[in-house]
Chain A
């Protein structure tokens, strides 16, 4: 079934640990995004990639890094997790190049708790 997968589904992590959230899409979309969703707040963009080999910073990039080695995969890494990074993380993709409006499609999310 075509779409976006994320792993893990949920994770409890000790503060200070390194963690990589995985995201894979099979729709051959150019653009991919990482958001975090916190209660009472809208989705906030962490990092994005308009095409393989390029990445950009969103609204809340501090403490996170990404890479885009190929079209399908867009992992998000927390180098040293802190409790404020407790959130639900959504990966999304769209079939757009830079400067074009297109619909974003979301993965099922990863619920991360940092203690």
Chain B
């Protein structure tokens, strides 16, 4: 079966750095996405990785290792507005997105 695993909840301090991990087992791989979802709102696109390595976009970076079936989202200089759920999703061989349950990130002052 297809599976995306990420931690249920994480807590971090304002101004710090946090790494949210995602491991996956899917039938085929056509890219990995990270989305941010604030409570009661729609998911919004953060990043996309299809090749191994690090993609940096401002305070957010995403890393992919296809051989290990592993990705992480790195958030730097955390702000209170970063409190949200972070969703990992993999596009499988049928070009359908398989979603993890999301990691709820709580930022404390």
CA distance A71 to B50 in the complex (A): 28
Count of interface residues, chain A, beta-carbon cutoff 8 Å: 21
Interface residues on B, range: 20 to 34
Asked if A101 contacts B43 (CB within 8 A), the reply is no
CA distance A105 to B33 in the complex (A): 12
Which one, A40, A48, A106, contacts B43 given CB within 8 A? A106
| SS of A interface (majority) | loop
- Tell me the nearest residue of chain A to B31, going by C-beta: A101
Judge if A99 is at the interface, Cβ distance under 8 Å. Answer: yes
Asked if A45 contacts B96 (CB within 8 A), the reply is yes
> Known contacts A40-B101, A107-B42; can you find 8 more A-B pairs with CB under 8 A?
A42-B101, A43-B87, A43-B99, A44-B99, A58-B96, A98-B95, A104-B33, A108-B42
Binding site for B on A (CB under 8 A): 40-45, 48, 58, 90, 96, 98-101, 103-109
